Amino acid sequence: MKYLIDFLVLALVYIFVLYGKWKAKGRDRLLVNTLMYIYLVFVLYFTLMPVITSIPFVWNHPYTPMNLVPFIDVSEGRGDFFRQVGLNVIMTVPFGFLFPLTWNKRDSFCRTVFYCFLMSLCIELLQPLLNGFRSSDITDLITNVMGGMTGYCLYRIFKPAVFWILDYFKRRD
């Protein structure tokens, strides 16, 4: 039920705020922005949700500061380090791929990496605030940015095919 409230709010934001704006810009913009929105909803689901029902309890648990020692899990043999790194990289590959497509201006590697860093930093800082059982780690931040960089490289490789598909959607308007 807690997750349902968040999903309902996100669906209402999409339907009543974003859909009309994006549709007015053309089918290609609607497709790209909707894919990015769906991706961001899944990122929220796996990293921060439930958000709305957690807000009243934000101050009911201690805030654990971010672990600032990169890759300490490897040296101390904690947890399933390689799985965590892999999942963090995979989680942000779509961001690096889709983010340049959401801008009408020239795509930029630096802009994509910067916004991937900001998204990851916000998630890492909010996780222990919204949920006392979650922690934040500099390793997650580093691997998320690596995933965004990988996604951008894939975007550059597949850019001709992607723009061919988007032009197809544009022609159908």
pLDDT of 6-32, one tens digit each?
999 999 999 999 999 999 999 889 999
Instruction: Report the pLDDT averaged over residues 39-65.
Output: 90
Residue 82 scores a pLDDT above 70: yes
Confidence of residue 173 (pLDDT cuts 50, 70, 90): low
More confident position, 101 or 1: 101
CB atoms within 10 A of CB 123: 21
CA gap 70, 61 in Å, rounded: 25
Range of the domain at 70: 2-171
CA gap 122, 163 in Å, rounded: 31
Domain count, the chain: 1
More confident position, 65 or 91: 91
